[in-house]
Structure 1
Amino acid sequence: MNTDKELIYAWDAYCGWCYGFSKTIRTLHENHPELPLTVLSGGLFIGDRSHSMGSFPHIPEANKRISQLTGAEFGTAYQELLKEGSFVMESNSSAIGFNVLRSLAPDRSIYLASAMQHAFYYEGLSLSDPETYRKIAVDNNIDPNAVVELLKDPSGATAAREDFTKVRNLGVNSFPTLLLRNGKELISLAGTMDIEELEERLARTNLEQDTTAVFCSIDNKKGC
């Protein structure tokens, strides 16, 4: 394994474009076992950016486009949440949950991220509810009691804040963002939902400098 290179994936559990990108990033990871993959929570909806789903009227149209481009399916239970509108997307809790899962199965972090997004976008489950993580743990052969206990531990919140800081220090403010670290150089591989195009970009990383595309953005306050 070439430790001079690694993939860094900045995502957010409540980012619809990340949900759409889920299959692509998993496939890329499976195609390139030689590239370590670090998965970091971005903190899209934290503090004064945390709002109810009804506060983002563009979400239904965005979801249609995500489905068209990626084939991602938004479940009935999620659609009901979206229609009702009062559910609050809060990324701090989801980042804590992800860090707890990741701490117990670090080699499966990208699959656990996908499981979280399936829980929300397909099953309509809250990523602030410990019972959601219990279910994810059971489904992924992780000790559910250990997960629930760790959710109460302050270390989870600390790890979440550390993820947010790392993402900011990388200069990332939109999600999903996929970076290739090659020594001291960081190369953006974002801008596509398509695995074939992403593979092409990875193959010519010595020529690619910046292909960033904004999907779910902090700066433009559109959410996702």
Structure 2
Amino acid sequence: MVKHLTYLMDPFCGWCYGAAPMIQALRAEANVQITIAPTGLFAGDSGGPMNAEFASFAWTNDQRIANLTGQRFTAAYRTQLLNDHSKRFDSGPATLALTAVHLTAPERELDALSAFQLARYVDGRDTADLNVLAAILGELALHAAADRLISGDDVLVGTSRKRMSSARRDMATFGAQGVPNLILSSSETRQLLSGGLLYGDPAPLLTRLRTT
């Protein structure tokens, strides 16, 4: 039986980047299907301009994530994004880019998310910039998504908003506090899985999925 997982996330969430190895392990499972649900947690008015106070908080938090998960947060990311106060901390453009992939090549959306995370946290590229995001999509040969992102048509924008609204409703329904989180769906029930299962040894989560 295929296990359906809804992945509540935000492309600017460091903890979601920390969970990337577990998401890859889940993708490798033949009977697991993952659907991205962007929450817009840091999108638009929920984000904001970068400043010294937030940059310090983010870097401290990033080091906790790195120590727990082994994920890399490089000097390029710190210098070119956190310490550049002309930049915005706004996941709206990256969420829109994911939706462009969702509409044109849905089977590649997790690939795009991974590429955006690596571009930001390892390469220090500004993934709040539509042109940077379009370039990354081009590097993945997701040209239709890149073109659609730059054109910003009404269907794309409307679909992105609907996906964020749906994800936020799921968060409210299950009392999810932040991201990342997973919702496991079957033909009869939906249940929230602890976000803590997304870090460390994948065996407990994989065992739970195989036996549920």
TM-score of the superposition, structure 2-length normalised?
Answer: 0.84
Q: Which amino acid aligns with 1:186?
A: R
Relative to structure 1, the CA distance from residue 176 to residue 69 in structure 2 (aligned partners, 3 Å threshold; closer, same or farther) is same
The aligned residue for residue 79 of structure 1 is 78
Task: Give the direction of change, closer, same or farther, for the CA distance of 1:134–1:168 in structure 2 (3 Å limit).
Answer: closer
Distance change (3 Å), C-alpha of 1:126 and 1:137: same
Deviation (angstroms), 1:140: 1.7
In structure 2, relative to structure 1, the CA distance for the partners of 1:129 and 1:84 (3 Å cut) is closer
Counterpart position of 1:99: 99
Per-residue CA deviations over 1:105-137 (Å, capped at 9, x if unaligned) read 211221211111111112222223233233322
Aligned residue for 1:169, secondary structure, equals helix
Q: In structure 1, give the amino acid aligned to 2:167.
A: V
Stretches of 4+ aligned residues off by more than 6 angstroms:
none
For 1:53, give the aligned amino acid.
Answer: M
Q: Is the 8 A contact 1:41 1:167 kept in 2?
A: yes
How far, CA to CA, are the matches of 2:127 and 2:102 in structure 1? 15
Which residue identity is paired with 1:8? T
| C-alpha RMSD of the superposition | 2.0
Say whether the 8 Å CA contact 2:137–2:146 is kept in structure 1: no
Cα 1:86–1:40 change in 2 (3 A) is same
- Mapped to 2, the partners of 1:102 and 1:167 lie a distance apart of 15
| Structure-2 change in CA distance of 1:107 and 1:47 (3 Å) | closer
Corresponding residue number in structure 2 for 1:68? 67
Describe the superposition over 1:39-84 as per-residue Cα deviations: whole angstroms up to 9, x where unpaired.
1111011343212333524211111111111111112321112133
Match of 1:191 among 187, 196, 202: 196
Give the letter aligned to residue 35 of structure 2: T
The more displaced of 112-121 and 171-180 is 171-180
Out of 49, 72, 89, the residue aligned to residue 52 of structure 1 is 49
> Counterparts of 1:92 and 1:182 in 2: how far apart (Å)?
30
The alignment status of 1:174 with 2:178, answered yes or no, reads yes
Cα distance, 1:98 vs. partner?
A: 0.9
The corresponding residue for 2:5 is 7
Structure 1: distance between partners of 2:188 and 2:57: 38
Q: Is the Cα–Cα contact under 8 Å of residues 36 and 109 in structure 2 kept in the other structure?
A: yes
What CA distance in whole angstroms lies between the structure 2 residues aligned with 1:48 and 1:104? 27
- Find the aligned partners of 2:191 and 2:35 in 1 and give their Cα distance: 15
Question: Aligned residues: percent identity?
Answer: 29
Q: 1:61 to 1:173 in 2, by over 3 A?
A: same
How far the C-alpha of 1:204 sits from its partner, in A, is 5.0
- Specify every segment of 5 or more residues in structure 2 that has no aligned partner in the other structure, as ranges: none
Cα distance, 1:158 vs. partner? 1.0
Matched pairs, number: 200
What SS does the aligned partner of 2:48 have? coil
Are positions 1:127 and 2:127 aligned together? Answer: yes
Residue 78 of structure 1 aligns to a residue whose secondary structure is: helix
Output the CA distance in 1 between the equivalents of 2:139 and 2:26: 23
- Greater fraction of residues in helix: 2
- Relative distance call for 1:203 and 1:34 in structure 2 (3 A) is closer
Deviations 1:173-208 (A, max 9, x none): 511111111224222222131222322343454xxx
CA 1:188–1:182: 2 relative to 1, 3 Å: same
TM-score, structure 1 normalization: 0.80
